[in-house]
Amino acid sequence: MSARVLIVTWDGGGNVPPALNLGARLARRAHEVRILGWSSTARSAIDAGLTFSSLSTPQVPPGRTLDDVWDDLVDPRLHGQPTVEEILAVARTFRPDLLVIDAMMGAAFVAAGRLGLPTVALVHVRYAPFVNIWGDGLMHTSTLGLLSRADLVLALTAPDFDDLPHALPANTTFVGPILAPAGATTAGLPELLQPGPPWVLVSLSTTAQHQHKALPTILEAVGALPVRALLTLGGVLPVEAVTVPGNVLVRSFVPHDRVLPHMSAVVCHGGLSTVTTSLAHGVPLVCIPQGRDQPGNADRVRACGVGEAVSPDANAAEIADSLSRVLNDGASRAAARRFTAPDSGARAAELVEGLLHADRTALATTG
C-alpha cells in the first residue's frame, strides 16, 4: 500500500544525495515522496523525480562558505523555531504518513515530536564521533537523546569504517551509503568506455570550501601522472574558471555512483558521502581534507587500508606520490573491495517501508 513520505533536509553537501536517493527508491516502490529542504536542492530533487517544497534558505555572501556563516545564518535554520513552524505548515498540507529527517536538524526533531508520526533519522556523518565527541556541541543538546526520539536511525556508513561503540541503541542500524537506484553508469561520458590509462575521479565537495585554492596543486599532480582524470566541480566553480591539464576531463556536476565503476582511484576532500560511495564501488582513495569532519574521515581511510590521507598543505609531488601508490597498491584496492555494495541503499528503503507497515499494523490493531 502506498504512503506519503516527507523528507526534511538541508544543503550541507554530502547529506543531500542520500536523502534524494532514498526518496527516489521509495518513489519506485509507489510511495509519494516530497523533499522539504533548502532552495539550492530543488533542482536535484526534481531531477530525481520527486516533488519539492522550500525551507527558508541562508543567503551566503559571495566568497564565504557555510562554515564562515554558521553561527549567524546556518545554525538558526537548523535549530530555530521558524524552521519548526515551516515543517509543520508543509506537513499540514502534505499530510505525510512518515517523516525522514536529517539528524543535524534539531528543528526537525521538534517538529516530528509535535506531529507524532513515525520518524526516521539519517546520520550522514560517522556515527560514533557524532554521538560521542562533537555532536552535542553542534546540536546544543544530547545527540543520543535526540536520536532516541526517532523510531529508526539509519547510519550511512559501513560498520567497519566507523569507530563503533560496543553496543548500539535498539533503534539504530548501519546501512552504508544510500546510492541512487540502478541506472546508466556512464552519466553521458562515452570517454570512460575508451581504452587507455586508468581513470581517476577528482572531486572536492558540492558546497564551497575554497576549492579554488586546493585544485591547482591537485591538478598539477594529476597532470604529471600517466592517468586520465574526471574532475567534477560540484556546481561550486564554473567550468571556465578552471585550467586543467590535457589528461583531465572537467564537468560541472556528475553523480559519482554513475562513474565510479570506471574509476581506479578517487582524489577527494574526505567528505563522508564521497568516501563511502567510492568504497561501495571498491575504489581506493587519496583524501586531502579541507575542514569539517574530513580529517577524521581521512584518518579512517588510512586506518582501514583503503587509501591515503594527505595534508592540505602537500605539494604536487607529494600528492602525485600518494596517488601513484594507491593506483599501484593492490592491497588498497583489495581492502576497498571489502566495502563493495553496488546496491547500497536497498536495505535503507526496506527498513523505512517496514516501519510504515509496522505503524499501519499497529494502528489497525488498536483501532
Taking the CB of residue 83, how many other CB atoms lie within 10 A of it? 23
AA letter at 299:
D
Q: Are strands 152-155 and 119-123 parallel, antiparallel or unpaired?
A: parallel
- Domain regions of the chain by residue span: 4-180+343-366, 190-337
Instruction: Indicate whether 186 pLDDT > 70.
Output: no
- pLDDT level of residue 62 (50, 70, 90 thresholds): confident
Asked whether the beta carbons of 39 and 57 are under 8 A apart, the reply is yes
Check pLDDT > 70 for residue 236: no
The percent of residues in the chain predicted with pLDDT above 70, rounded, is: 92
Examine the pLDDT at 359 and tell me if it is beyond 70.
no
Query: Which residue in 37, 18, 42, 278 sits closest to 125, CA to CA?
Result: 18
Residue 107 β-bridge partners: none
Higher pLDDT pick, 151 / 240: 151
DSSP-based three-state secondary structure for 155: strand
Let me know if the fold of 4-180+343-366 is the same as that of 190-337: yes
> For residue 341, what pLDDT is reported?
85
Residue 85 corresponds to which cell in the numbers above?
A: 513552524
For domain 190-337, give the CATH number.
Answer: 3.40.50.2000
Which fold would CATH assign to domain 4-180+343-366? Rossmann fold (3.40.50)
Would you say the pTM of this structure is higher than 0.85? Answer: yes
Which one is predicted more confidently, 221 or 13?
Answer: 221
Distances from the Cα of 296 to the Cα of 36, 160, 214, angstroms? 30, 15, 19
Average pLDDT over residues 246-265: 89
CB atoms within 10 A of CB 170: 8
Q: Which of 289, 290, 287, 228 is nearest to 259 (CA)?
A: 228
Lowest mean pLDDT among 57-71, 169-183, 266-280: 57-71
